[in-house]
C-alpha cells in the first residue's frame, strides 16, 4: 500500500477498498440518526468507506445518508464502499443469503461492497440478536464455518455483494477456509481489533502472506461500551508515548494511532459521530511517522484486547484462545 499515491488497497478479488473507513457502531442509547448524520459529514469530508453491521441497527439511516449524498452530487455509488456483516444468529448456510437480502433492504441498495462473517461462532437463530436461555445465558450453537463460507461465495456469485470476507477470525480459522476443498474465493479481509496495545503483528504477517487485508477496529481505544468492554481497561489515547509522538508532529494521539496502522499496511476504521473528530481522523495522509516513532509505538504492544466476547469462551470456534 503506497499511501502517497493511493488511498485504496487492491483486494485479492480485484476490487479496491479505501484504506480509511468510518466506523458506525454505538451503544443502544445513542439515536440511530447519529450514524446517518455522521455518514453525511464523513462523505463531505472525503471518506468513501463506511463500516456497519446488521447488529448495529443503523443500516437504514446510513442508506438515507448515501442517497442524500448521491443526490447532491458529492459521491457516486461506485465511489462509495459499504461494508455490512452477517450476524452470529445467521451462520447456518440457508440463512446467509436471506440475511444479506435483509441488510440490502434496510440500506436500500442493490449490492453491498463487502459482506463479512461478523464472528466465527454461531448463536441460536431467531429474531433475538442475543438469544438468552432461562438463566440469562447467551445460547450458542456450532455451525461449520466452511459451510457458512460456501453460502457467502454464492452471495458474491449472485452479485448481491462485490466482495466477501471475515471478522474476528484467528489464523487457524482462516486456514480452515483457505484449505477447504473446492474453495472458490478467498476472504478478501479479516476485520479484527488492532491498535498499539494489540498490534496483531503475527496475524498481520500471516494475512499479508495470504494476500488477505487486515482491517482494524477499535484503533482509537474502542467504544468502551460496558456490555462488551471491561470499564477498567486503560484508555489508549491517554498513552504517554502516543501523546509525546503526537506533540512532536503537532497531531493528536488518535491521528498517530491511525497513522501507525496505515504505515504497517493495515486498513483502519475510525468511529466518530462528532464533526470535529470525523475531520481530524481524516487528516492522516499528510504526515509520516519516522522509523523511530514506529518502533516506539510497536513497543507499546501488550496483547490488550478490549472486545473479548467472553460469553463464547469454550465454544469450538471461540477465536481468542489461540495466540493469533
Ligand atoms: P474507535 O476505537 O474507532 O473509537 C472509539 C471512540 O473514540 C469513539 O467513541 C469516539 O467518540 C472516540 N474518538 C473518535 N475519534 C477520536 C479522536 N480523534 N480523539 C479522541 N477520541 C476520538 O471505536 P470502535 O470500537 O467503535 O471501532 C470502530 C468501528 O469498528 C466500529 O464503529 C465498527 O464499525 C467496527 N467494529 C467492528 C467490530 C467487529 O466485531 N467486527 C467490533 C468493534 C468495532 P466520538 O463519536 O464521540 O468521537
Residues 29-57: tens digit of each pLDDT? 999 999 999 999 999 999 999 999 999 99
Q: Give the pLDDT score at 73.
A: 97
**What average pLDDT does range 129-139 have in this prediction?**
97
Q: Give the pLDDT score at 175.
A: 98
Query: Angle 87-90-96 (CA atoms, 0-180°, nearest 5)?
Result: 105
216 — pLDDT class (breaks 50, 70, 90) = very high
Nearest Cα neighbor of 130 from 78, 122, 176 is 122
- For ligand 1, atom 14, which residue shows the shortest CA distance? 272
- For ligand 1, atom 9, which residue shows the shortest CA distance? 223
Report d(CA 12, CA 184) in Å as an integer.
Answer: 12
CA-192 nearest atom, ligand 1 = 41
| pTM, to two decimals | 0.98
CA-116 nearest atom, ligand 1 = 41
Q: Exposed, middle or buried, 111 (CB in 10 Å: 0-12/13-18/19+)?
A: middle
How much distance in Å is there from the Cα of 182 to the middle of ligand 1? Answer: 37
Q: What is the pLDDT of residues 45-88, one digit of tens each?
A: 999 999 999 999 999 999 999 999 999 999 999 999 999 999 99
Q: Give the pLDDT score at 154.
A: 99
Q: What is the pLDDT of residues 179-194, one digit of tens each?
A: 999 999 999 999 999 9
Q: Long-range contacts made by residues 319-323, C-beta under 8 angstroms, separation at least 24?
A: 319/119, 319/120, 319/121, 319/168, 319/169, 319/170, 319/173, 320/170, 322/170, 322/171, 322/172, 323/202
Report d(CA 293, CA 251) in Å as an integer.
Answer: 13
How much distance in Å is there from the Cα of 218 to the middle of ligand 1? Answer: 5
6 — pLDDT class (breaks 50, 70, 90) = low
Q: Give the pLDDT score at 78.
A: 97
CA-51 nearest atom, ligand 1 = 34
Ligand 1 pocket residues where CB is under 6 Å: 23-25, 51, 118, 167-168, 191, 217-223, 237, 252, 254, 269-274, 277, 280-281, 307
How much distance in Å is there from the Cα of 72 to the middle of ligand 1? Answer: 28
The backbone torsions φ and ψ at residue 134, rounded to the nearest 5 degrees and listed phi first, read -60, -25
Catalytic residues: 56
Report d(CA 222, CA 26) in Å as an integer.
Answer: 10
Amino acid at each position: 500500500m503506497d499511501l502517497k499515491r493511493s488511498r485504496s488497497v487492491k483486494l485479492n478479488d480485484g476490487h479496491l477498498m479505501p484504506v480509511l473507513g468510518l466506523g458506525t457502531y454505538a451503544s443502544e442509547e445513542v439515536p440511530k440518526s447519529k450514524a446517518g448524520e455522521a455518514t453525511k459529514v464523513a462523505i463531505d469530508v472525503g471518506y468513501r468507506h463506511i463500516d456497519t453491521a446488521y447488529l448495529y441497527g443503523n443500516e437504514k439511516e446510513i442508506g438515507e445518508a448515501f442517497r442524500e449524498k448521491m443526490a447532491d452530487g458529492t459521491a457516486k455509488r461506485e465511489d462509495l464502499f459499504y461494508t455490512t456483516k452477517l450476524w452470529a444468529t445467521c451462520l447456518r448456510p440457508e440463512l446467509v443469503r436471506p440475511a444479506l437480502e435483509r441488510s440490502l433492504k434496510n440500506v436500500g441498495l442493490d449490492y453491498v461492497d463487502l459482506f463479512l462473517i461478523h464472528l466465527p461462532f454461531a448463536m441460536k437463530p431467531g429474531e433475538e440478536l442475543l438469544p438468552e436461555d432461562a438463566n440469562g445465558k447467551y445460547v450458542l450453537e456450532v455451525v461449520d464455518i466452511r459451510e457458512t463460507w460456501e453460502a457467502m461465495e454464492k452471495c458474491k456469485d449472485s452479485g448481491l455483494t462485490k466482495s466477501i470476507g471475515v471478522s474476528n477470525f484467528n489464523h487457524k480459522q482462516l486456514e480452515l477456509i483457505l484449505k477447504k476443498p473446492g474453495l472458490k474465493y478467498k476472504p478478501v479481509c479479516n476485520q479484527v481489533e488492532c491498535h498499539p496495545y494489540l498490534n496483531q503483528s503475527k496475524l498481520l504477517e500471516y494475512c499479508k502472506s495470504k494476500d488477505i487485508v487486515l482491517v482494524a477496529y477499535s484503533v482509537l481505544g474502542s467504544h468502551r461500551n460496558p456490555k462488551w468492554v471491561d470499564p477498567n481497561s486503560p484508555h489508549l489515547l491517554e498513552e504517554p508515548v502516543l501523546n509525546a509522538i503526537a506533540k512532536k508532529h503537532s497531531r493528536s494521539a488518535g491521528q498517530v494511532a491511525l497513522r501507525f496502522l496505515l504505515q504497517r499496511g493495515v486498513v483502519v476504521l475510525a468511529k466518530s459521530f462528532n464533526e470535529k473528530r470525523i475531520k481530524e481522523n481524516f487528516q492522516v495522509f499528510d504526515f509520516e511517522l519516522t522509523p523511530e516513532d514506529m518502533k516506539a509505538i510497536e513497543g507499546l504492544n501488550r496483547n490488550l484486547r478490549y472486545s473479548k466476547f467472553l460469553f463464547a469462551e469454550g465454544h469450538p470456534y471461540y477465536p481468542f484462545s489461540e495466540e493469533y
